Each structure stands twice: as structure tokens, then as C-alpha cells.
């Protein structure tokens, strides 16, 4: 009888250790997702703040090469970004607030990783305020391990594969809007 109790105790102890190890492993599995979420949301915040501060080099550094190509190449992208920044400065446009209304979607496709980062911002210019729900579409460059982005309101099911041929079909992009406050 003593041997049976010992076996039961050892079995129970083993089960508790296994459960504890599983519980301990679960947060560790969540850590990479949390780290990536922090990374991409930090990138997007840096990108958008740089845009409204007129930091063209920072904006271009976070812009995906396909986005730069779509603007006509590096020189044309720089010129277009500088022109957009000049326009924003001339009307006094500023970013009042920026938040992330929900967690990003990490997507696998064709051996690449993508992310959709929803944003909610309030912009002001010339005494008017606008709320903008939008997103940034990012792609991870495996050579540098750096995420780069394209502005989401210009991306849809019809044109996403012209930028990223391996982007999975069937993904439903988030809604976006701009409304006066």
C-alpha cells in the first residue's frame, strides 16, 4: 500500500511539474508576439511622427522599397515626400494624437511575413480637426530583419499583389475613414 501511495505522489508531483512547466512556457510563447507588436507599433509611431515633423529621411527609411518604386524611385519618392511635408507645414498640419485601436495582424505568405498595423489619429490644420482610422501594411525584410511599410488606405485586394505578389489572397483589409471632428 505504501508503494502505491508513493507512486501516486510521484505521479501527482510529475503532473504538477508538467502543468507548471506548461504554464511557464505559455507566457514565453506570447513574448515574441508582444515584442513584435511593440516593434511594429513603435515603427509606425516613429514613421507618422516623423512625417508630421518633416523628417523626410526617417519617413523614407521606414517606407518599403516597393512603395518607393511605386512613387517612381528614390529621387521621385524623396521629392514627393518633401513636397507633401512642405504642404503640411504650410497649412500648419500637426498630429495631435496617435493610438492603436487593436493589435496588429501578422500574416504569412509565400515565405514572407507581413503585418497590418491599425492606427487611429487626430490631425489638426487651420483650426480644423480630423479623426483618421487607417493602417500601415508592413513587410519584414529577412536580410535586415527590419519592417518597412506602405500607407494602408492606398492598398486593397486589387493592387496589393502588385506591391507584394506573395501576399495571401482572401485577407480582408481593415476599414478606414477620415471624418471632421
19 within domain boundaries: no
20 within domain boundaries: no
Q: Which domain holds residue 53?
A: 33-180
Looking at residue 39, its pLDDT comes to 95
Q: What is the pTM of this model?
A: 0.79
12 within domain boundaries: no
Looking at residue 7, its pLDDT comes to 40
pLDDT along the chain (181 residues), means of 10: 43 33 37 84 96 93 92 94 90 94 93 94 94 96 87 90 91 94 95
Looking at residue 5, its pLDDT comes to 46
Looking at residue 33, its pLDDT comes to 79
21 within domain boundaries: no
Looking at residue 142, its pLDDT comes to 77
Q: How far is it, in rounded angstroms, from Cα 154 to Cα 163? A: 11
Domain CATH number, residue 146? 3.10.450.50
Q: Where are the beta strands (DSSP E) in 100-155?
A: 105-109, 112-125, 128-141, 146-151
87 within domain boundaries: yes
**What are 43-51's contacts with CB under 8 Å, separation 24+?**
43/138, 43/147, 43/149, 44/100, 44/117, 44/119, 44/136, 44/138, 44/149, 45/98, 47/136, 47/149, 48/95, 48/98, 48/119, 48/121, 49/95, 49/98, 51/84, 51/85, 51/88, 51/95
Looking at residue 14, its pLDDT comes to 35
Looking at residue 10, its pLDDT comes to 34
86 within domain boundaries: yes
Total tally of structural domains belonging to the chain: 1
Contacts of 76 (CB under 8 A, 6+ apart): none
Looking at residue 4, its pLDDT comes to 46
47 within domain boundaries: yes
- For the record, the C-alpha cell of 158 comes out as 486589387
5 within domain boundaries: no
Amino acid at each position: 500500500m505504501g508503494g502505491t501511495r508513493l507512486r501516486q505522489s510521484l505521479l501527482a508531483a510529475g503532473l504538477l511539474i508538467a502543468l507548471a512547466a506548461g504554464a511557464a512556457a505559455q507566457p514565453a510563447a506570447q513574448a515574441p508576439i508582444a515584442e513584435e507588436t511593440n516593434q511594429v507599433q513603435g515603427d509606425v509611431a516613429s514613421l507618422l511622427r516623423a512625417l508630421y515633423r518633416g523628417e523626410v529621411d526617417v519617413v523614407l527609411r521606414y517606407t518599403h522599397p516597393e512603395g518607393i518604386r511605386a512613387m517612381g524611385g528614390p529621387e521621385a519618392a524623396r521629392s514627393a515626400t518633401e513636397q507633401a511635408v512642405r504642404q503640411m507645414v504650410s497649412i500648419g498640419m500637426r498630429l495631435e494624437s496617435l493610438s492603436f485601436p487593436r493589435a496588429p495582424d501578422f500574416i504569412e505568405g509565400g515565405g514572407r511575413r507581413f503585418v497590418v498595423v491599425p492606427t487611429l489619429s487626430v490631425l489638426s490644420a487651420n483650426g480644423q480637426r480630423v479623426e483618421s482610422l487607417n493602417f500601415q501594411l508592413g513587410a519584414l525584410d529577412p536580410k535586415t530583419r527590419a519592417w518597412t511599410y506602405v500607407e494602408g488606405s492606398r492598398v486593397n485586394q486589387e493592387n496589393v499583389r502588385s506591391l507584394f505578389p506573395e501576399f495571401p489572397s482572401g485577407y480582408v483589409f481593415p476599414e478606414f475613414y477620415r471624418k471632421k471632428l
